[in-house]
Amino acid sequence: MRIIAIILFSFCIFISAQNDSISNKVISYDDKIILRLNFDTNIDDYVISSKELNIKPRLELNSQINTTFGLDYKIISATVSFAPDFLQGNNNELKGKSSFTNYTFRFFPKNMIQTLSYKNSKGFYISNTQDFVSNWQKGKDPYLTFPNLRIQSFGGSTSYIFNNNFSLKGIYYQKEWQEKSSGSLVPSLNYEYVIFSDTQNSIKSKEYQLNLSFDAGYYYNYVITKHINIAPFAFAGLGKKWSSYKNDVTKDEREKQNYFTQNFGAGIHLGYNTDKFFFGSKFNYSGNHYKDNGSNIINNNFYVLLFLGYRLNPPAKIKKTYDKIQDKISTL
């Protein structure tokens, strides 16, 4: 892991050395260390509907609030997210035990944003248990649960910003501040490898999915005052999903399927910024839809995010080490 981290770090500095072009309408904070704390309700839920069923099971994690810590310097950005038990609404006893972690790494070559992530979720419950259990009482009776259901995701995305006077980095990562209102078309290529695993009645099963999609979005950053902005956005796209399923009964025999997917979403960002301190909120919705043997599978994701952060000068040792590596790479 250390070798991989060093390679990625060196590559990011190499890309940074090639990019000296910054719009005079965008203030850059790349020379600052940026510390960020987020609280969000970014919890996936899965809805399954079919022609045979009049009711739709809705699978959710037993978590309502995630916490994210972020650290940025130059073009390198890293975050870690988890759902702590001490926050109210996380791990309700009636909904079973859940766990969630998400590690994300980003770098920013020129007009691009490159994201790599790993997400691990375990322990789901059916939020509409009342549709399946007669006389079930909310707040008193336990929900139907899938404690062994685990979803692991290895993914990434590559986005390109067409307008040099528009700062997507300023909206999402507070690495810049846009001085004048402007918008941009932002196409994105998304890729993800997902592993679903579960154990029911002592039978283990696994499903592997490879997801590829292309989205086209439009973002507009409306700068209200010197310190306040509002940024709405919307996107839509198409993709392809390849799925492979096996269990202890079929053993090495795998059921393989592939599907076309539809992706869509929208949201708005509200922010306050100074050279050192920033805070704000985001309201996001995204959805993914595909059909599987007559069933409609919908993955909805609506969440609210609150963020706050602080920018500070890097310690002399960190700046010296970074500059030394950058100088060596620029001479190659």
Give the domain extent around 274: 2-330
CATH code for position 319: 2.40.128
Distance CA 20, CA 109 (A): 10
Question: Where does the chain have alpha helices with state H?
Answer: 2-17, 168-172, 316-330
Distance CA 43, CA 219 (A): 23
Grade residue 330 by pLDDT with cuts at 50, 70 and 90. low
The verdict on pTM exceeding 0.85 is no
Distance CA 160, CA 163 (A): 9
Nearest CA among 228, 181, 162, 186 for reference residue 26: 181
Q: For residue 23, is pLDDT > 70?
A: no
Nearest CA among 300, 218, 233, 301 for reference residue 270: 233
Q: For residue 166, is pLDDT > 60?
A: yes
C-alpha 73, offset from chain centre = 20
How many angstroms separate the Cα of 11 from the Cα of each of 18, 97, 127, 268?
A: 11, 40, 44, 32
Q: For residue 277, is pLDDT > 90?
A: yes
Using DSSP's 3-state secondary structure scheme, residue 38 falls into: strand
pLDDT above 70 coverage of the chain, percent:
84
Q: For residue 4, is pLDDT > 60?
A: no
Paired tokens of 278: 């920033």
User: With contact defined as beta carbons under 8 Å apart, do 304 and 273 qualify?
Assistant: no
pLDDT for the residue 181: 94
User: With contact defined as beta carbons under 8 Å apart, do 107 and 12 qualify?
Assistant: yes
Distance CA 132, CA 306 (A): 35
Nearest CA among 185, 182, 207, 213 for reference residue 195: 207
Q: What is the pLDDT of residues 197-233, one digit of tens each?
A: 988 888 888 889 999 999 999 999 999 999 999 999 9
What's the total number of domains in the chain? 1
**CA 172-68-27 angle, 5° bins:** 30
